[in-house]
Amino acid sequence: MRNKGEKNDLESRLPVSVTRDSTVSLLKVLTTLIVFVVGVVIGLTSSSHIDRYFTFQAEQIIANNALADTVSRANNNNNGSCSVCEKEDCLSMESFVRLKILIHGMSDDELFWRASLEPYKKEFPFKRVPKVAFMFLTRGQLPLIPLWERFFERQDVNKYSIYVHALPGYVLSISNTSVFYKRQIPSQHVEWGSVTLVDAERRLLANALLDFSNERFVLLSESCIPVYNFPTVYKYLIGSIHSFVESYDDPSRYGRGRYNRRMKPDIKLSDWRKGSQWFEMNRTLAVKVVSDTKYYDIFRRLCTPACYPDEHYIPTFIRLFYGPLNANRTVTYVDWSLGGPHPATFSAVNITEGFLKSIRNNGTACSYNSEKTHICHLFARKFEPSALEPLLNLSSNVLEF
Ligand SMILES: *[C@@H]1O[C@H](CO)[C@@H](O)[C@H](O)[C@H]1NC(C)=O
Ligand SMILES: *[C@@H]1O[C@H](CO)[C@@H](O)[C@H](O)[C@H]1NC(C)=O
Ligand SMILES: *[C@@H]1O[C@H](CO)[C@@H](O)[C@H](O)[C@H]1NC(C)=O
Ligand SMILES: *[C@@H]1O[C@H](CO)[C@@H](O)[C@H](O)[C@H]1NC(C)=O
Ligand SMILES: *[C@@H]1O[C@H](CO)[C@@H](O)[C@H](O)[C@H]1NC(C)=O
Ligand SMILES: *[C@@H]1O[C@H](CO)[C@@H](O)[C@H](O)[C@H]1NC(C)=O
Ligand SMILES: *[C@@H]1O[C@H](CO)[C@@H](O)[C@H](O)[C@H]1NC(C)=O
């Protein structure tokens, strides 16, 4: 207020003083002017301006420290992403939407929480091409990689992403031109048959959920092969109104026999389901699976051998809450016809044109989006490494890739 008053004063005086033809009064005016200007400057400086300047500086220092802190913490925890953050703006849309590096230092709790975040706003501020996430759960090397590489060859990289959960410390040896290069996620020890197998599945889902473009999530193993080409698989999965999680009621001791009555009242025997571990699901279901704590805990505590969480947890959880979203069948072919605890394994001698054709279409019709189709399976297992050569031989003729 004071400054403003002085300024008005000055403005009203100036014209008067200039018209006077006297050196004395001119000098007086000049002196007054200088005093006023100095006054104004001091007034301005001592009030808001200095405060604002210092506040601004302080904020900058705090912000810089926070950034330095974040980067140095990232440096300590996160091998890989740290050096990128020093050079790039890690909050940019580009790095948020298109993660370049899959390695991170998050614990499962942190990862699952982040993966459970869903945008409330439905329109994307970028061109979102829905992707299929191919998630490989493997112990060691992926011997059938050459077939998969042929499957992905010349396909639109905006339509798929690959994730590999291998044993901790295991580094896939692949050339830097492979689509599998640097696609390993931070992994943990997995014991087949135990809940750690479910943990690994959820870890794959959660890592894949961090990419907002991933729309369909398919779990695969090192012995799986694709039996249709990429465009067919993509269209089939992206176009499906259902997820493909096998979920059925098995009255035998291998199904209902594994139910634990202490799971009541949360899980009733009539809700108890069994299904192949090798699922395919859409984003909605994937978020639900990584967000669940209650039912996961029940399975962790009460589903122990001869109950296998990987065959019951997801089929039962989906049956409980999201049954209508599920096709209840799997898109991954497997042959149980020989009986016993393990499905048939196919080696080089078993790979014939007729065999592959029968997996693609054996005359059975399956329902797809409430219609009938002869394409029931997109993938198949279990194939030994020796099957690779004959598969590559037949892929262009029979598998059409
Ligand atoms: C980061 O990498 C260094 C050497 O490459 C290694 O010694 C260290 O244990 C790693 N830290 C973490 C958290 O993985
Ligand atoms: C891939 O590796 C080769 C040799 O191992 C190297 O010459 C080439 O620069 C690498 N390419 C990329 C993109 O890293
Ligand atoms: C997943 O599938 C369900 C059932 O078809 C559908 O309602 C939901 O919108 C789908 N989720 C996404 C993210 O598309
Ligand atoms: C799958 O089973 C659920 C019941 O768990 C049912 O509601 C749903 O309609 C079934 N899906 C199809 C495609 O029949
Ligand atoms: C594979 O072929 C061998 C030799 O013909 C046969 O003995 C075996 O049963 C076949 N395996 C399967 C799973 O069909
Ligand atoms: C075709 O495959 C389905 C599912 O695997 C199986 O139930 C059916 O018996 C097969 N049909 C023939 C004719 O082999
Ligand atoms: C691949 O196909 C060629 C020609 O059709 C045949 O001579 C060769 O034996 C096949 N190799 C294998 C491993 O099946």
pLDDT tens-digit series, residues 264-273: 999 999 999 9
What pLDDT was estimated at residue 29?
A: 59
Ligand 6 atom closest to residue 376's alpha carbon, by position in its atom list: 4
Ligand 1: which of 79, 104, 188 to mutate, judged by most atoms within 8 Å of the beta carbon? 79
Interval between CA 176 and ligand 2 midpoint (Å): 6
Q: Ligand 2 centre and the CA of 120: distance in Å? A: 41
For ligand 5, whether the C-beta of 350 sits within 6 Å is: yes
How confident is the model at residue 95, as a pLDDT? 76
CB 334 within 8 A of CB 379: no
Predicted pLDDT of residue 197: 97
pLDDT at 242: 98
Mean pLDDT in runs of 10 for the chain (401 residues)? 38 38 57 62 48 42 40 48 64 80 93 96 93 95 96 97 95 94 96 94 98 97 97 98 98 96 97 97 98 98 95 98 97 92 94 97 94 97 97 96 96
Query: What confidence tens digit (pLDDT) does each residue in 44-61 have?
Result: 444 444 444 444 444 444
Q: How far is the CA of 281 from the centre of ligand 4 (A)?
A: 14
pTM flag (> 0.85): no
Q: How far is the CA of 146 from the centre of ligand 5 (A)?
A: 23
Mutate to test the pocket of ligand 4, among 240, 328, 330, 366 (most ligand atoms within 8 A of CB): 328
Q: Which residue has the tokens 């501020």?
A: 125
Residue 349 beta carbon below 6 angstroms from any ligand 5 atom: yes
Residue 242 Cβ inside 6 Å of ligand 4? The answer reads yes
Domains of the chain as residue ranges with CATH: 93-119+126-399 (3.90.550)
Predicted confidence at residue 38, as pLDDT, reads 59
